[in-house]
Amino acid sequence: MFKNAIIYRLPAPWAITAEDLSRYLAPQAFTPLGGLDMQCMGWMRPREDGMLVHQVNRQFLLRLQIEKKILPSSVINQVTRERAKELEEQQGFPPGRKQTKELKEQITDELLPRAFTRLSGMWIWIDPVNGWLVADSSTPAKAEDALKLLFKAVPKFPLEPVRTVMHPGAAMTDWLASDEAPDSFTVDQDTELRSTAESKATVRYVRHTLEANQIRQHIETGKQCTRLALTWADKISFTLADNLSIKKIALLDVLKEDVGAIGKNEDERFDGNFLLFSGEMSKLLADLIAAVGGEVMNRSAETTPC
């Protein structure tokens, strides 16, 4: 269901119900853009006939909807230049900086109601049993949009970043240097190594066999792994980044067979797919955190969290 995973920590277990969370989110329900608004976002029901929080076996699924108007600056500038020429002819001299700025703002307001809009969304999975919140976002910055709404909506929202004993980049570099993946994982054929020096020299392998000797040479010259393709338990392949974000999540054949056998109607398949995904991903995340040395539970710990 998710292609990406930005991972956060919640208390385990987190004593909140889907009904209570839906009630907190209700004031932030998605409303389509107004005439002069550039962007809006809010929560949508994952299923049309359900609540804002869809629950399957104590696993929660949320859907953030984002609507943005597409009004290129080149169009605004072009119309502004045309209007400025007309204004110059009328008043006998070109408009000054302040007048041009006001003209540009006026034109933006005129064009906004006619601008095209683009809809996008983000899935949020909350596992209150094992204490995970995962955003299907390609970057942490985009995930922050959803988190800001949650912090505003939920009283004392107990979310924290994941802090690990080893920095993920250092851990991945160790795996490559030793040519040995941690338990339950295998190393695939994509990786990126970047120099820690000012040059930031970077080497990328894409669908290429990772020769241990070549990789060690790069590491010995001061490069560290920033991205590594992995497979977990022969079930899920993904790419791990040095900020602990996950991309290119893909179910492998053994799980695809399970997906194909789920449910007879759309609702059953949706719930079954979500239950399968959340169950396997919870195990994957636990193994991944163990592979980077476990979590730093006390911020005053001597180890440096990522």
Tens-place pLDDT, residues 56-98: 999 999 999 999 888 788 888 888 888 888 888 888 888 888 9
Domain count, the chain: 3
Q: Are residues 153 and 23 in the same domain?
A: yes
Query: Does residue 301 form part of some domain?
Result: no
Question: What band does 261 get if pLDDT is binned at 50, 70 and 90?
Answer: low
8 Å CB contact between 153 and 25? yes
Per-residue pLDDT tens over the stretch 152-198: 999 999 999 999 999 999 999 999 999 999 999 999 989 999 988 77
- pLDDT 10s digits, 88-128: 888 888 888 898 888 888 888 878 777 778 888 999 999 99
State residue 302's pLDDT score.
Answer: 36
The answer to whether residue 306 scores a pLDDT higher than 50 is no
For the ranges 52-61, 70-79, 242-251, 288-297, the lowest mean pLDDT is seen at 70-79
Containing structural domain, residue 16: 6-71+115-161
Do 137 and 96 have their domain in common?
no
* Model confidence band, residue 37 (pLDDT cutoffs 50, 70, 90): confident
Mean pLDDT on 239-244: 96
201 and 127: one domain? no
pLDDT of 250? 93
3-state secondary structure the chain: CCCCEEEEECCCCCCCCHHHHHHHHHHHECCCCCCCCCEEEEEECCCCCCCCCEEECCEEEEEEEEEEEECCHHHHHHHHHHHHHHHHHHHCCCCCHHHHHHHHHHHHHHHHHHCEEEEEEEEEEEECCCCEEEECCCCHHHHHHHHHHHHHHCCCCCCEECCECCCHHHHHHHHHHHCCCCCCEEEEEEEEEEECCCCCCEEEECCCCCCHHHHHHHHHCCEEEEEEEEEECCCEEEEEECCCCEEEEEECHHHHHHHHCCCCCHHHHHHHHHHHHHHHHHHHHHHHHHHCCCECCCCCCCCCCC
pLDDT (0 to 100) of residue 305: 37
- 93 and 127, same structural domain? no
Do 77 and 215 belong together in one domain?
A: no
The pTM of this model reads: 0.82
287 and 188 fall within a common domain: yes
Q: Within this chain, do residues 132 and 260 fall inside the same structural domain, yes or no? A: no
List CB contacts of 99: < 8 A, sequence separation 6 or more.
Answer: 87
Same domain, 146 and 243: no
* Assigned domain for 296 exists: no
Instruction: State whether 41 and 96 are in the same domain.
Output: no
pLDDT confidence of residue 263: 62
Whether 229 and 136 map to the same domain: the answer is no
Average pLDDT estimate for 135-161: 94
Higher per-residue confidence, 123 vs 272: 123
Do 134 and 220 have their domain in common?
no
Residue 250 lies in a domain: yes
Whether 1 is covered by a domain: the verdict is no
Q: Which two tokens stand for residue 225?
A: 């792994």
Same domain, 84 and 130: no
